[in-house]
Structure formats: structure tokens, C-alpha cells
Amino acid sequence: MYHFNNNIILCSSIFIIFSFISIFNKLKFDEKSFNLFTYLIFVFIIFFKIDSYINKNYENKIIKSQRIEFSKITKKLLQNDLKNISILTLDDHITIWSIMNNVGNLKILNGLLTSKKNEIIEKEIIETFKFLKLDQNIFIEFIKNKDFGWRFYNKGIGKYFYLRYQANKLKTYNDTKDFTEKEQKKIEISSPALNQQIILPVSETARFIKLFDNYENSDYEKPDIIVFNKNNSLFQNTNLLSNKYCKIFNGNIYIVLSRVDCE
């Protein structure tokens, strides 16, 4: 049911278009004129949508700045032997670029982009927090269920575990009801179509915190390069600079640290 809402919108749009065409079909147009008219409508709609989307994103100063910095960073990264380096990033754009360019080792991956088992993803999240010296309070905030009014959502868990913890009246994690009273009430009135409502059960929250507190791994291999998006709240809570890393790029959006390119 993941794309159920999207399918409703798509089918509704197609219905409206074909209804519009059907109405004109009943009018007294000759076949050649009608076919040309129909073709022009489709072409106009497609180009209008594409043009609106491109202009909206092109004129956005933040997106434009991010695009420019992204280009500069990837050019720097290409100067390395990508198959033999490790990169730590929480930015999806950099992650996707790294996958497409066969980077040898990505320290953590978005749940949509990996087939790794949940246990491995849990380990990578905690390793990342420990490496960045983020404390328990920040970790708890990261896995906290947040009420957005029309739904509960857990951004951190949703990103790395995708729909594992989706919660609505039809589906919850292991069919559990182990939620707070407010969360349970929201779940009971949530449509099955609300598949993007992510709520971590109480017991799972406790388990994650216990894993974080008890985790020790002296064998963690530090990444060669760290790429951080400054808009990520985790960036503001960690000191990435150390005597083992040097800053090779520092823009308005991104900061890049390396231990292989220091001069």
C-alpha cells in the first residue's frame, strides 16, 4: 500500500484529463482537428508541469547554492581512488552519488538504498553517533516519535528503517500496541492509506537506548572522508574537527573533512 495515495492522485488526474477529452470528443470536431487538439493538450500539460518544476527549483537560492557546492565536492572526491576509500555522510545526495560512483565503503546508508539486515543498520547508526561523540540525549531525540498533527513521524528511524515501524489501524511493528496513549489513539484513527506514519514502539525505544548505552567497539574503522550537510541538526551538536582530520571544503551548505588529503 506504499504508493496508494500517489495512485489515487495519479488516477484522478488521468480521469480528469480523459473526461475533458471525452467532452470535446462529443462536440462537432472533425477527426483530424480533434486528434491535433488532443495532442496539443497533452504536450502543453507535460511541458507546463516540467517547466514549473524546473523554474521553481532553479530559482530557489538554497537549492542553487547546494547544487553548486555539491558539484565542487564531487570534483574533489573524484581526485581519490573511490573504490579504496570510506565516506561517512548523512546527506542523501552525497550518498546516492557515492553509490553511483562505486565508492568502496559507505559507513551508513539510507534504508531505501541498502539490503542490509536491520541489525547491521542499527549497529551503523550507533557507531556513527559514537564516532561523532553524540551523547545519549541527542540519540534519544534522534529516535523520538514526533507529533505533526495529522500524523506521528520519526524522521531518524523512518530514514534508516524505511517502513519497518509504520503505524496505522491496519499495520504496526509486529502488530504491537506498545505505544503511548496519545500514539495509540492516533493509530486507531489512522487510515491504512497513511503508510508514512512512523512510530517507534515503547519497547523498541528502550531497546535502542540500551544498545546505545552498552555499545563498545574498538575495531571501528574511521572514515577517510566525512561530508556533512550543515542543515542537519546533528552537525550542530558535534565537533568534527580533530588533529586527524583536515577541512578540505567549507561552504554554506556542506563541510568536508578528510584524513587522506591533508597537506
Q: Determine the pLDDT at residue 12.
A: 66
- Can you say whether the dihedral through the CA atoms of 229, 234, 236, 237 is positive or negative? negative
| Separation between Cα atoms, residue 75 and residue 24, nearest integer Å | 53
- Chunked into runs of 10 residues, the chain (263 residues) has average pLDDT values of 56 66 58 57 65 60 84 93 93 92 91 86 93 92 91 89 89 93 92 84 96 86 92 76 80 90 63
Cell of 259: 584524513
Q: At what angle do helices 92-100 and 61-77 cross, to 10 degrees?
A: 40
Q: What is the pLDDT of residue 25?
A: 60
For 232, the grid coordinates are 542537519
**So what's the pLDDT on residue 155?**
86
The confidence score (pLDDT) of residue 7 equals: 63
Angstrom CA distances, 234 to 105, 141, 192, 237, stand at 21, 10, 32, 5
Collect all residues with Cβ–Cβ distance below 8 Å to 77 and sequence separation of at least 6: 87, 98, 101, 225
- Separation between Cα atoms, residue 84 and residue 77, nearest integer Å: 12
Burial class, 249, CB count within 10 angstroms (exposed 0-12 / middle 13-18 / buried 19+): middle
Nearest residue to 133 (alpha-carbon basis) of 232, 48, 238 = 238
* pLDDT attached to residue 47: 62
pTM for this entry: 0.76
The sign of the torsion formed by the CA atoms of 157, 163, 167, 171 equals negative
**pLDDT, position 128:** 92
